Structure 1
């Protein structure tokens, strides 16, 4: 975002349809990371830093190439992930969190902590 002088503002704000409602911040956050794999991808990038596609796929066990690709594209569109071409031959891409994406760290850590506290082993 830019201010009236064209400079980047210190804090990015999101335009949302529910602005002004007291529940809107929850909805806004959920719209950014509410898909199944989004918080996991953000968590992996927070934990491991910039990563290539194959590294991410290895770090997110159980995700298909298509779902990872679609998720990364969506996170990039939302301004949470940057995609950088590292090499043309062989073609290599590296993904990293933007400043906006990295600012989700307390949310992701809270999600992890809550999950650890309430996670139980499946019963047979």
Structure 2
């Protein structure tokens, strides 16, 4: 029986989808990430962000009021920040609805829909963890 060397990934992981990022891809905070895992984490960074994305995956689109009602413990300041960041990241688009008072509808983009397996995996892992702790 052979043992894996500590600190060395199995051969199947070294060239696959979980391959190590080259050192040049790992940048200090504040710089635009280049490692795929780091890019995903930067997009979903911040408490509540994955839950806001989950709401969009459930609905496809939503107004600020609908999101606020769906996530009642989320402050207005944090919700506004998350919507701005997700818009900047290309996960959602902001559409102004004509009329008075002005209204805005946020719509999930194709990049946002591509996050569904990520959020689903987070849900499944969290469910299993919650069940194991009970």
Number of residues paired by the alignment? 103
The offset of 1:63, in angstroms, is: 0.5
The alpha carbon displacement at 1:104 in A equals 0.4
TM-score by length of 2: 0.70
**Secondary structure in 1 matching 2:74:** coil
Of the three residues 27, 35, 38, the one matched with 1:27 is 38
Q: Corresponding residue for 2:15?
A: none
Map 1:58-73; keep pairs closer than 5 Å: 58-73=69-84
* Runs of 4+ displaced beyond 3 Å: none
Check if 1:106 corresponds to 2:113. no
TM-score of the superposition, structure 1-length normalised? 0.75
Find the counterpart in structure 1 of residue 6 from structure 2.
none
* Structure 1: stretches of 5+ with no match in the other structure: 1-16
Could you say what secondary structure the match of 1:69 adopts? Answer: helix
The answer for the alignment partner of 2:18 in structure 1 is: none
Match of 2:59 in 1: 48
Does 1 or 2 have the higher relative contact order (CA < 8 Å, sep 6+)?
1
The reply on whether 1:18 has 2:25 as its aligned counterpart is yes
